[in-house]
Chain A
């Protein structure tokens, strides 16, 4: 009974803190602009099954991809076990889901095996991050803080697995005459040592569940928020061809007005800033992308600009967006301003202009972030609000305006190629 009360109090605190974090982020989301409408749910579900649950884009790097996929699939079954632990904790039952029979055995057994696999892989990830100089884990946006965040997340996951195995070993050890579920790893460990581990059951259970609660509340402030947001981010992904850059509707209205003097001017139409200068100009999807990004750097790794030593790093664009929202969001909600903006104070013009819009980054992103579209949104601001394009581009604009071609040739000569 005391355990139940203690647990329920802990659970309420966990939910309370989490609700606070969600409310904070919700406020930030409210500052953003609409994105595309979410339609075609059938296609979205199959896309999610494919990219998120099937891990298809992760497998573009086969070795590390398989390790990630196993950790991810392991997390899915282990999460079922965690839900049971919460139910047990609240209700005072022991192994509340055991009635599901063979399904229970499968879930628990695979969770037990996955716990060991994940522990091994997480250790390898951690060592790789520390000692192997993986190029995509470097860059200006990969600050010492970002690396600590990554290591801390790995540490959390590692200890979650250790505590789960301890709890399982304790459970197996304290039920010598038979128990619910199957524990290939934990039971083998108990047999191997031949000691009595029953004392591990309670502390194992508590440590595991408290780690879950702490980790869950750490995540909204970590790049590893990914754990919660990557699946919804894939579900809400842009399903259009990646090189389709949506037309700006406010411009369509203006162009129609220009081409057709009869067209009525809609006074109700909101006069918004063209393009993106700061966080309130981005869409909710851009912001969600920035919260879902786990900074794996696969985008930057394949970026032709980055490969050839230019400043642009597609990952930095989204890391900066999230950072700037952390700074600007609370101010904006309080109705205050600072004299900074995402563009220029975080992301330089030099970075924005280096993009070839080749979409290698978007192709690679395991959670379907579209970097080039946000980069081009910032170009829209620079060009249409400030006329701040590089000289070559201004010449190209003038040529298109005057002769309908990006080069200085007369439209009269358009058939010369055939002569």
Chain B
């Protein structure tokens, strides 16, 4: 296990004070900032951005929840308050391009902010990484996962919501060579169970948890890894694997972490 060290992440306020204008804003999201497991994904992605020498910054303390979970839980008032605040900050910095790791933030910023005056080019990190690989800017020469097989779990807000199915798969293939698809993949993908603010509440009564249903499908596929591209999916799959006592033979890994490992960052 490597000792985590501080990584150099430019913050918008500092960068602007120096009179610079970064090309991209990296929207870290609340999970990237606070979730123990997903912080590693935010770190991985920031390291990749640094490795590529991309001109970017994060909002840091000025970033606030996009309001996705509040909106989908019915609290439109809270959502719009959050949205208006965020738009004010983003427009204040004259942000043009936003990269998101979280598909929920991505969907909200891309589809729901424009009607409130927030117009940006919103890019999902899997699309960004795919582009970097395709244009040769990101060179992947090592495969630290030799001999391991992997499947990919589609986040609903990336796939069904915004039609992003190929980019994450291309990134996985660039390292693993192949994605072993599950029965319910792409637009047929099964939800992890956390969307629509389910992440923050007890599930209703049923005969199974949704994440267990999904985890069982992953286990059935007999792979060493399951790639995901969403903080909520990550929590649900990681929990599912733990509950099924399969941690030794099956791990959940984010698309950004795959690249981080392949680049040995």
Contacts and interface: CB of A to CB of B under 8 A. Distances in A.
Nearest to B103: A243
B77 to A, nearest CB: 6
A393 B73 contact: yes
B76 A248 contact: yes
A355 B42 contact: no
A305 B210 contact: yes
B76 A244 contact: no
Interface string B54-78: 0000101101110101111111111
Given A244-B111, A360-B191, A418-B43, 8 more contacts: A302-B188, A358-B196, A380-B76, A397-B73, A412-B61, A413-B33, A417-B32, A417-B42
B11 interface: yes
A241 interface: yes
B162 interface: yes
B161 A350 contact: no
A240 B81 CA distance: 23
Contacts, number: 226
A243 B160 contact: yes
B146 interface: no
B6 A255 contact: no
Interface in A241-284: 241-248, 251-252, 254-256, 258-259, 274-275
Interface in B186-229: 187-191, 193-210, 212-213
A147 interface: no
B39 interface: yes
Which secondary structure dominates where chain A touches chain B?
Answer: helix
Nearest to A419: B6
Interface of B: 6-9, 11, 28, 30, 32-35, 39, 42-43, 46, 58, 60-61, 63-65, 67, 69-84, 107, 111-112, 115-116, 156-157, 160-163, 187-191, 193-210, 212-213
A254 B77 contact: yes
A376 interface: yes
B77 A384 contact: yes
Interface residues of A, number: 72
Given A393-B73, A397-B75, A304 B210 contact: yes
A400 B79 CA distance: 9
A243 B111 contact: yes
A414 B196 contact: no
A242 B161 contact: yes
A357 interface: yes
25 contacts: A60-B188, A240-B111, A244-B112, A247-B112, A251-B80, A255-B77, A310-B204, A310-B205, A360-B156, A360-B160, A376-B196, A382-B74, A383-B73, A389-B73, A391-B201, A393-B75, A396-B197, A396-B200, A404-B82, A409-B33, A411-B61, A413-B34, A415-B58, A417-B34, A418-B42
